[in-house]
Amino acid sequence: MAGYACSLAQALLEHGYAAHRFNMRSCGGTEQYSGRGLYHSGQTGDVHEVVRQIRAEDGKPFIIIGFSLGGNVALKLAGELGARAADEGIAAVCAVSTPIDLAACVRKLHTRFNWLYANRFLKRLKQRIRVKERLMPGLFPVHRLGEVRTIRDFDDIFTAPAFGFGTAANYYATQSSAQFLEKIRVPALLIQAKDDPLIPFSVFDLPAFGTNPNLRLVATEHGGHIGFISRRRPRFWVDGVILEWMAGVWEQAPAGIRSHPQGPLLP
């Protein structure tokens, strides 16, 4: 589990919340447990099912907090559910350093400035396919790995066909959370640095931020991609911003929710 998720989980526990950390399908060494599946950037079904199961056990509401692609999933799920989100136990969502426009972010990823990160990410994606091939031979066209030079190539050859999207272009168009922001009906906090090297800040220039009162965008001049570091303690200052926002969410929530907070789910 990434350090930023561990940091936030620790802060949440210290403030009396129950924190549930969530690995996307086939991430975090879970390939052998995820059957035939991989994850994709808009895969909301798994998180939704986890919320349902834990909600069924104690009936308490959730705040879903996602970092990077996890933020895209959190926002997209809230938008898909619309007014039903609160009824299903989702009190709010938070997204940090989130690629809400997948196509624009993939283009940004493959600029010269980001080649090191892109190559590293691509190697991990290819390795995940090789691991799946060892576990379940014939599941993917492994012989085509040599054709993959970019993230878009990978999505065209592996991700899009595996999930029925057809092409990478259609995958990006249908699974980006930007188009779901207007439909969100629970409080939603988005934290984004303007100098994020992987996400062009222009993708946040959307009418939804002016027309949907449930959305709050906190934009900082600096912070990179999930790099909100301070010279003073706490070093990872975004934890405090999220905790302060959560306190406000619970204060403004209906009495039944306010008296029984479950805490966050971190995809």
Q: What is the CATH number of the domain that holds 196?
A: 3.40.50.1820
Among 35, 32, 27, CA closest to 68: 27
Is residue 134 very low, low, confident or very high in pLDDT (cuts 50, 70, 90)?
A: confident
Structural domains in the chain (count):
1
Residue 142 in tokens: 């492994």
The answer to whether residue 136 is domain-embedded is no
- 25-29, 52-56, 116-120: lowest mean pLDDT where? 25-29
Tell me which residue has tokens 């629970």: 186
Q: Is residue 81 part of a domain?
A: yes
How many C-alpha atoms does 110 have within 13 Å on its Cβ side? 12
Which domain covers residue 184, as residue numbers?
A: 3-101+176-266
Residue 259 in this model has a pLDDT that exceeds 50: no
Cis bond leading into 161, ω under 30°? no
**Spatial distance between the Cα atoms of 207 and 195, rounded to a whole number of angstroms:** 22
Q: What is the mean pLDDT of residues 179-205?
A: 97
Quick: pLDDT tens for 137-148.
888 899 999 999
Q: How does residue 114 score in pLDDT terms, banded at 50, 70 and 90? A: very high
CA 33/CA 131 separation, integer angstroms: 12
Tell me the C-alpha distance between 217 and 206, whole Å.
11
Q: Which residues pair with 64 in a beta bridge?
A: 93, 265
What distance, in Å, lies between the first and last C-alpha atoms of the chain? 10
Token pair for 212: 């949907």
Q: In this predicted structure, what is the pLDDT of residue 206? A: 97
Using CA atoms, how far apart are residues 121 and 1, in angstroms rounded to an integer?
16
Is 76 among the domain residues?
yes
Residue 162 lies in a domain: no
pLDDT at 136: 85
146 within some domain: no
Please spell the DSSP secondary structure of 140-175, one letter per residue.
S-GGGGGG--SHHHHIIIIIHHHTT--SHHHHHHHH
Mean pLDDT value across residues 41-55: 90
Is residue 50 situated within a structural domain?
yes
Place of tokens 């283009």: 107
Q: Is 118 within the bounds of a domain?
A: no
Over residues 28-53, mean pLDDT: 80
| Amino acid residing at 84 | R
Classify residue 34: in a domain, yes or no. yes
Question: Could you give the 3-state DSSP secondary structure of residue 99?
Answer: coil
pLDDT 10s digits, 200-239: 999 999 999 999 999 999 999 999 999 888 777 667 789 9
